[in-house]
Amino acid sequence: MGAFVNRVKKDKILFYILSAAICLGIILTVVEYAARKSGLELRTFAQEIKGVYLWLVMPCIILFTGNALLSMKLGERASGEIKGKKSYKAIGCLRTVTVVIIFLVILVFSFFRGALYVLSSEMVEEKKMPEGYIQGAWANFLSETYYDYYVPVAGIFRKPFQGWTPEQLSEKVQEDYSPDAELFAKQENGWYVFRIPDKQSEGEFIYFHVSDSYKLESNGFFQILLNEAAHFWGNRDRAVALSADGNITFEDARDTNETTCPVSTERLYITCNGSEEDIAACAADLADWLEIVKGLGWELYDIDSDTYSLLADMKVGSRNDYFYFSIYPLTDFIGDSSWENRYQKIKDRLEKAFEEHLAELQKNEELNQEQENSAAGDDTDSDIISEEELYTCFMDRYDGSYEKECLVEGTAIRYRMVIVDAAAGSRCYGLLKSTDDGETWQVSTLSPFGQQLGMGIDFTFLSENFGFATLMHNGGDEADLYVTEDGGNTYEAVVMEEYTVTLDDGFTYVPYDYPQMPYEEDGIIYVLCGQGADGDYAGGDAAGLALYRSTDGGHSFTFVKIQN
């Protein structure tokens, strides 16, 4: 009787242990579920404790308490029914082996869960930030770490960072940009528009976007550079464009360990023709520009380090012949106290860059010539079709269709643009010419624009050999202007001065990007530019077109005014 009572007590104790272990696991799961429903998450250490308990501690408790119960039952049954010591020992060995196997399975499974937990994106390495927030470093397996930010709640919980208040945001922007920075508007996508006074133009502002994220992403730095570039290069006879993604966080900008800039590598485009005189003038302009940049308020960017800059890598050249030119590290130039030294360094690098570029062009030309000679060989019966044979073949199949036709005023000369090939909505054009007012036609060229394709075309000739053409892109949203001086055999892209506008949302863009056909008045060539099919700035084309003029025979155009 006493043995039976003891066994019952032991059964109850084991049952209570099992119940408590299972209840605690259920409580942990319910707490986490309720927290997630409330927008909260367990802190990393709490997640680890919960995981270890659910996948290791609780299974082991269930195993060993269950084993103890089973051992008691089997032991009692064996002593009453099984006669023989060997049989009883066999049951004990089998039970022990079973328990060990199950225990090992639990350990393996728990380790696998733990390894998966650590190596997956669920694992967060927490770091306390100065403001009391938590930085979570998400460690994805074999991929870059990225960061989220949280607010600590009640010790074991956290909730995602909900963004700075407008007051906090204004304070941070004023600290990083200018004490005069003010909040201008909030957009529906959660971004804020700030503005700071334009020091170059009284009464005007520079607008930029700022996110309310913890790291305060912004395009303000780029907008300031863009504004200063517009002012600086506006009165210089060079076509200049500044381009970049523009999203630089303050932390990225100040990180002196970075060797690359988190923006596009195509930044500053400067026309510089490579002559000795122009290289000197171009170097002087760049030296002046860097002097302006130096005084912009460089708390946004650490110029005393070798950090890569928006301005350290640029493109230099003219027309279609641009190549990369680097002044990295920028501190060799901005940090120089003497303008003369800065100018001389830039001039020396420009001269060397042009020499290397010309040598590369010559090398490529020689290589192409060798390949052509190798392909042609010495066999006069080669299958290679000559240009004349290709033109004859085309005219034999020509059905008289064309996309655009142009008559040279006062002559019997006509030109036609015909479609040579088409794919994916774009077309490759060829040029036909007639000298008898369209009675007969011959091919001028089947590739006037090289490898350039378009979705539509317009063209004109002001004389037999001198004319212009536009290739339309993006369904009529924009077009490129080209000029020819050899009767359309070759067209070169025209350089257009950018007329930029800054909208209320802080974005700067070029609305007038669809040139019409140029015309000549009193020896000067003009062209009107509209906004294309997507244009709605200031009322679209109905409200006015941008007038440009050229003083170099149509190779480049400068903005004059908006003409109604």
Model pLDDT for residues 419-474, shown as the tens digit of each residue: 888 766 688 899 999 999 999 999 999 889 887 888 889 999 999 999 999 999 87
Average confidence (pLDDT) over 66-85: 58
3-state class (DSSP) for residue 454:
strand
pTM of the model: 0.46
Distance between CA atoms of residues 396 and 376, nearest Å: 25
- Does residue 523 or residue 299 have the better pLDDT? 523
Average confidence (pLDDT) over 100-125: 65
Question: How does strand 313-318 pair with strand 268-271?
Answer: parallel
User: Which of 137-141, 155-159, 402-406 has the weakest average pLDDT?
Assistant: 137-141
Average confidence (pLDDT) over 317-325: 75
68, pLDDT greater than 90:
no
Average confidence (pLDDT) over 341-367: 86
483, pLDDT greater than 90:
yes
pLDDT value of position 15: 76
| Chain-centroid distance, C-alpha 319 | 26
pLDDT value of position 170: 92
Average confidence (pLDDT) over 29-48: 82
382, pLDDT greater than 60:
no
Model pLDDT for residues 6-38, shown as the tens digit of each residue: 655 666 777 788 788 888 888 888 888 888 888
Model pLDDT for residues 187-197, shown as the tens digit of each residue: 777 789 999 99
Distance between CA atoms of residues 482 and 518, nearest Å: 10
Average confidence (pLDDT) over 165-180: 89
Distance between CA atoms of residues 415 and 462, nearest Å: 12
Strand partners, 268: 242, 314
- Written as one string, the DSSP assignment of 92-145 is HHHHHHHHHHHHHHHHHHHHHHHHHHHHSTT-EEEEE-TTS-EEEEE--TTS--
- Written as one string, the DSSP assignment of 44-75 is HHHHHHHHHIIIIIHHHHHHHHHHHHHHHHHH
Confidence of residue 386 (pLDDT cuts 50, 70, 90): confident
Tell me what percent of the residues of the chain surpass a pLDDT of 90: 17
Cα Rg of the chain, angstroms: 38
- Does residue 394 or residue 408 have the better pLDDT? 408
41, pLDDT greater than 50:
yes
Mean of all residue pLDDT scores within the chain: 77
Confidence of residue 54 (pLDDT cuts 50, 70, 90): confident
pLDDT value of position 243: 54
129, pLDDT greater than 90:
no
Confidence of residue 359 (pLDDT cuts 50, 70, 90): confident
pLDDT value of position 194: 92
